[in-house]
Amino acid sequence: MIVTEEKRILSDFVNTIPESLYGPDRVSYILENSSKLDDGDKVLLRKFVNKILTSMIERDASDIEIGGHGNEGYIWMRIHGKKERVKDLPQFGDDESALLISNLFNSNQKKYISTTRNLDFSYTYFYERRKINVRFRADAYFDLDTLTCNMRAINTSIRSLASLEFHPSAVKYLSHNYIKFGLSLITGITGSGKSTTLDSIVDHHNKFDPAHVVIIAAPIEYVHTSNISLVKHREVGRDVLSFKEGVVQSLRQDPDIIVIGEMRDPDTIMASLEVTDTGHKVFSTLHTSSAMESLERIIAEVNPVEQERVRNRLADVLVSVVSQKLVPTLDGKRALAKEVMVVTPSVKAAIKNNNIGEIYMMINQGGQLGMITMEQDLKRLYEQKRISLETAITYANNKTRINQLLSAK
């Protein structure tokens, strides 16, 4: 990869940084002054980043790390699960990397990361060989006062909802045609495939439901093409200032389905409950590993004075909770294990009466309604010989229960 001209642009700019500036002040200078680059130089640096991302795709890497003290000048990639230096790509100093990264931002994003020290954003470029636009989910942040960036390639195809192996009754609860309003949550730890499941749900509606879907996310990952549904994408930080504002503003946009990328703070939680209460179908995510933990997290996030009111409202608007994990399979791939709770009158009463601990057995016994505990689903995968016994036990939320299930004849 010949980088003579790109290196010259980077070197010339770095030489303008006053020697008196150290640490974060150097990054601030780069963020503030990178817009002064010649337009042709900006384009050349972007094309260079695109070449690096093309190299990433062609190595089957899932993630790339550019810049930062920890990189030691190298570009790092996660290839087949292993993070490693890519020694055949050029090396860059901290200031050079910071300029490459800041050249990917718009003016609002530069201001935002200067204040918050972190920025979630998306990036797209045209991959010439396959003649497609490739999207990346990116996170820029600081590492010992240096600017660094992780970029993850987003799948260019969507898994069908059927391939996720939900019970037909559970799919009904997720469907806008079956239930016109209510809140459905997709939960799990980072990397558990929540975004993939949300995209599968949107795609499912887009094939047959003449509805208006508004997606609010940070960042927008997969971009849906309107088919039967009209699908709008609003990226936090680019198209709207916050999740809460996106949710509130969506009420004036004639939506049928609102997808909220994450209920990450009390304001967003309250806004999500309120917009659901007005008769909309709402989908969102939480970083929790079980249905019961999801309920407890929502209630605990709000002011104690508000908790009883939120508990009652949640009981009234909640339709279903899917808590999922991606577990390693015997053939070296990953399978989706999930816990599914649908809100029956009994579940609703347990939420309102603050008896959330009783809900596990309701899920355990609700198979005919499409409910399943994480332990039951792990047992299913084990009996299908898709995962090992050790994996089933390791990924269970309730170790006592999984051992009981696996030892039962």
Q: How far apart are the first and last CA of the chain?
A: 61
Residues 338 and 204 in one domain: yes
Residues 129 and 198 in one domain: no
d(Cα 365, Cα 371) in Å, to the nearest integer? 8
Contacts of 87 (CB under 8 A, 6+ apart): 74
Could you say which of 130, 153, 176 is where a domain stops?
Answer: 153
Is residue 51 within 8 Å of residue 128, measured between CB atoms?
no
d(Cα 39, Cα 35) in Å, to the nearest integer? 9
The enclosing domain of 188 has a CATH number of 3.40.50.300
In the chain, what's the furthest Cα-to-Cα distance? 74
- pLDDT exceeding 90 applies to what percent of the chain? 82
Task: Quote the pLDDT of residue 99.
Answer: 97
Identify residue 35 by its one-letter amino acid code: S
When pLDDT is averaged across residues 56-62 and rounded to a whole number, the result is 90
Domain count, the chain: 2
d(Cα 236, Cα 256) in Å, to the nearest integer? 20
d(Cα 132, Cα 117) in Å, to the nearest integer? 32
Identify residue 44 by its one-letter amino acid code: L
210 prior amide bond cis, ω within 30? no
Residues 17 and 104 in one domain: yes
Could you say which of 153, 187, 214 is where a domain stops?
Answer: 153
Residues 179 and 195 in one domain: yes
Residues 300 and 377 in one domain: yes
Contacts of 89 (CB under 8 A, 6+ apart): 1, 52, 55, 74, 75
Residues 25 and 147 in one domain: yes
d(Cα 137, Cα 98) in Å, to the nearest integer? 18
Identify residue 292 by its one-letter amino acid code: M
- For residue 214, give the 3-state DSSP assignment: strand
Query: Measuring CA to CA, which residue among 219, 212, 205, 104 is closest to residue 158?
Result: 205
d(Cα 307, Cα 165) in Å, to the nearest integer? 35
Could you say which of 109, 137, 153 is where a domain stops?
Answer: 153
When pLDDT is averaged across residues 397-407 and rounded to a whole number, the result is 93
**What is the gyration radius of the CA atoms in the chain, in angstroms?**
23
Residues 231 and 332 in one domain: yes
Query: What is the H or E stretch that residue 174 is in?
Result: helix 168-174
Span 92-136, pLDDT tens digits: 999 999 999 999 999 989 999 999 999 999 999 998 888 888 999
Span 128-156, pLDDT tens digits: 888 888 999 999 999 999 999 999 988 77
Query: What is the H or E stretch that residue 212 is in?
Result: strand 212-217
Whether the pLDDT of residue 287 is over 70: the answer is yes
Whether the pLDDT of residue 409 is over 80: the answer is no
Confidence of residue 1 (pLDDT cuts 50, 70, 90): low
User: Whole domain around residue 128: which residue ranges?
Assistant: 4-153
Span 227-260, pLDDT tens digits: 999 999 999 888 998 899 999 999 999 999 999 9
Residue in this structure with the two tokens 């195809």, named with its chain if needed: 157
Residues 309 and 377 in one domain: yes
d(Cα 397, Cα 406) in Å, to the nearest integer? 14
Q: At what angle do helices 291-301 and 266-277 cross, to 10 degrees?
A: 110
Residues 366 and 394 in one domain: yes
Residues 223 and 359 in one domain: yes
**Residue 174 Cα distances to 143, 275, 340, angstroms:** 41, 17, 11
Which pair of structure tokens corresponds to residue 257?
């389905």
Task: Quote the pLDDT of residue 237.
Answer: 81
Residues 222 and 265 in one domain: yes
Whether the pLDDT of residue 2 is over 70: the answer is no
Task: Quote the pLDDT of residue 155.
Answer: 78
Confidence of residue 219 (pLDDT cuts 50, 70, 90): confident
Whether the pLDDT of residue 214 is over 80: the answer is yes
Whether the pLDDT of residue 45 is over 90: the answer is yes
Is residue 317 within 8 Å of residue 277, measured between CB atoms?
yes
The enclosing domain of 25 has a CATH number of 3.30.450.90
Confidence of residue 190 (pLDDT cuts 50, 70, 90): confident
Residues 363 and 234 in one domain: yes
